[in-house]
């Protein structure tokens, strides 16, 4: 494992944290580090972080929420206190601070944490890395983490493949390779799965022309890419170039937020802390977030929290509650997201939501019922009170 940083753990840190930090390349030391066998190879900057558990918890109780203070002494950087409910989240915060990432890449999910561990292991060297996952899952953030962990001194040039046609994509690679100093240390091809078959062929040819792939690569520029679908399956269906796919040695996948529901609370609190350190969520508000499936994943959650923070009165000391959270969720509800929002709403809200979805579907009651997870009869009962009742005289004609 490549050692990225060294961090002092104050007394009271749970023993499990040492293991988690080592898994992502951070070497703990000090009175709170369990096991003194770990050696630091001196390959990174001198130790600059110190981590203290304000209210220490042993490993048995570590999954309860607890405050953790991370002090960064480089350049007089300020301390940051986080409230965590899982040691994986603490390890992610420490890693992000050690790498000086602008935003912490946080997860409590075991599989996602294992992906971060693999990413930090693959950081050193020139192996190409591709990250797959639905829109908004954090692919770009993970690639930036890998680039920072690589120790590269130069920048990473980002190319949105969806913005280039069959001809211009190769020219963009040429511009990156031939750029005047500082030449990029890495090229990140976002939405690589949006390229047409012709553009894929041109891109692969450009890789070969400029020596970006293979053991004898002439240009020391690393390749990163992101895709919104599993490309190994696309290759099998002849929907993606096998040669282009094999240009990347490491493939990582980020699961959607709905498959890691435990991440909702720590992510929401972290997003809110960045905007307003004094603000907080009421437990009922976090429960409302947990009941929504977030089809836009982490990006949608971030946008929602931003709206909540803006709408909140700066002078108010009250926590963000359930009603305002549901109001913001309802404001963005669409037929595709209505099923998850349905559980949150009161009867009057459900009726209003059903009518909105019915209108959005052009009056298609069958499609509306399916979207809301209702039978046709249940939808009729719900929407019927909203329609004016005909008098017997009018009914008789």
95 has a pLDDT exceeding 70:
yes
For residue 371, what pLDDT is reported? 59
Task: Tell me the C-alpha distance between 397 and 375, whole Å.
Answer: 31
Domains present along the chain, CATH in parentheses: 1-109 (no CATH), 122-255 (3.40.50.300), 259-386 (1.10.8.60)
Task: Tell me the C-alpha distance between 233 and 253, whole Å.
Answer: 13
101 has a pLDDT exceeding 60:
yes
Rounded to an integer, the average pLDDT of 298-322 is: 82
249 has a pLDDT exceeding 70:
yes
236 has a pLDDT exceeding 90:
yes
Task: Tell me the C-alpha distance between 9 and 94, whole Å.
Answer: 11
Task: Tell me the C-alpha distance between 130 and 253, whole Å.
Answer: 9
197 has a pLDDT exceeding 60:
yes
For residue 388, what pLDDT is reported? 39
Q: Contact at 8 Å (CB) between 329 and 341? A: yes
Task: Tell me the C-alpha distance between 288 and 333, whole Å.
Answer: 14
Task: Tell me the C-alpha distance between 228 and 302, whole Å.
Answer: 19
For residue 60, what pLDDT is reported? 46
The secondary element (H helix, E strand) that includes residue 306 is helix 297-311
166 has a pLDDT exceeding 70:
yes
pLDDT band at residue 61 using 50, 70 and 90 as cut-offs:
very low
Question: What's the start-to-end Cα distance of the chain, in Å?
Answer: 83
Rounded to an integer, the average pLDDT of 295-301 is: 90
Task: Tell me the C-alpha distance between 18 and 51, whole Å.
Answer: 12
397 has a pLDDT exceeding 50:
no
pLDDT band at residue 56 using 50, 70 and 90 as cut-offs:
very low
- Edge to edge, the sheet with strand 129-132 lists 156-160, 186-190, 222-227, 129-132, 250-253
Helix axes 347-360 and 322-331, enclosed angle (nearest 10): 10
Highest mean pLDDT pick, 158-172, 224-238, 282-296: 224-238
User: Is the model more confident about 57 or about 384?
Assistant: 384
Q: Contact at 8 Å (CB) between 169 and 141? A: no
7 has a pLDDT exceeding 70:
yes
Rounded to an integer, the average pLDDT of 228-246 is: 94
For residue 370, what pLDDT is reported? 66
92 has a pLDDT exceeding 90:
yes
User: Is the model more confident about 123 or about 354?
Assistant: 123
248 has a pLDDT exceeding 90:
yes
The contacts of residue 387 (CB under 8 Å, 6+ apart) are none
Two structure tokens written together for 230:
């599993």
- For 313-349, how does the pLDDT look when each residue is reduced to its tens digit (9 = 90+)? 655 668 999 988 988 887 765 544 444 444 445 556 6
Kindly state the percentage of the chain with pLDDT values over 70: 80
Rounded to an integer, the average pLDDT of 27-53 is: 72
387 has a pLDDT exceeding 50:
no
- Edge to edge, the sheet with strand 66-72 lists 26-29, 5-9, 49-53, 66-72, 80-84
The secondary element (H helix, E strand) that includes residue 227 is strand 222-227
261 has a pLDDT exceeding 80:
yes
CA 300 distance to own-chain centroid: 10
Rounded to an integer, the average pLDDT of 155-170 is: 86
């Amino acid at each position: 494992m490549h050692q990225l940083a060294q961090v002092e753990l104050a007394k009271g840190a749970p023993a499990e944290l040492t293991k988690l930090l080592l898994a992502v390349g951070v070497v703990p030391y000090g009175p709170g580090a369990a096991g003194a066998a770990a050696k630091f190879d001196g390959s990174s900057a001198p130790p600059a972080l110190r981590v203290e558990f304000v209210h220490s918890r042993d490993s048995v109780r570590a999954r309860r929420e607890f405050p953790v203070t991370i002090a960064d002494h480089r350049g007089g950087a300020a301390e940051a206190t986080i409230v965590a409910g899982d040691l994986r989240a603490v390890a992610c915060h420490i890693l992000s601070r050690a790498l000086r990432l602008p935003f912490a890449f946080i997860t409590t999910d075991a599989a996602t944490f294992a992906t971060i561990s693999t990413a930090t292991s693959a950081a050193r060297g020139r192996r190409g890395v591709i990250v797959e996952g639905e829109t908004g899952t954090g692919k770009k953030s993970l690639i930036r983490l890998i680039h920072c962990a690589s120790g590269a001194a130069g920048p990473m040039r980002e190319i949105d493949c969806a913005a280039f046609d069959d001809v211009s994509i190769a020219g963009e690679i040429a511009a990156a390779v031939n750029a005047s100093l500082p030449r990029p240390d890495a090229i990140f091809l976002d939405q690589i799965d949006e390229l047409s078959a012709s553009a894929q062929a041109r891109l692969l040819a450009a890789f070969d022309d400029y020596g970006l792939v293979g053991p004898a690569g002439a240009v020391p520029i690393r390749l990163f890419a992101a895709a919104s679908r599993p490309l190994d399956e696309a290759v099998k269906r002849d929907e993606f170039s096998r040669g282009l796919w094999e240009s990347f040695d490491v493939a990582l996948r980020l699961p959607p937020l709905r498959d890691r529901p435990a991440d909702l609370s720590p992510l929401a609190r972290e997003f809110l802390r960045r905007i307003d350190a004094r603000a907080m969520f009421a437990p009922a508000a976090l429960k409302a977030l947990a009941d929504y499936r977030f089809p836009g994943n982490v990006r949608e959650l971030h946008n929602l929290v931003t709206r909540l923070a803006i709408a909140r009165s700066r002078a108010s000391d009250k926590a963000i509650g359930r009603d305002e959270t549901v109001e913001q969720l309802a404001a963005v509800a669409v037929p595709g997201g209505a099923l998850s929002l349905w559980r949150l709403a009161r009867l009057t809200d459900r009726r209003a939501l059903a009518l909105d979805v019915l209108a959005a579907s052009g009056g298609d009651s069958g499609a509306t019922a399916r979207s809301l997870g209702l039978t046709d009869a249940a939808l009729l009962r719900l929407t019927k009170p909203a329609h004016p009742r005909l008098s017997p005289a009018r009914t008789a004609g």
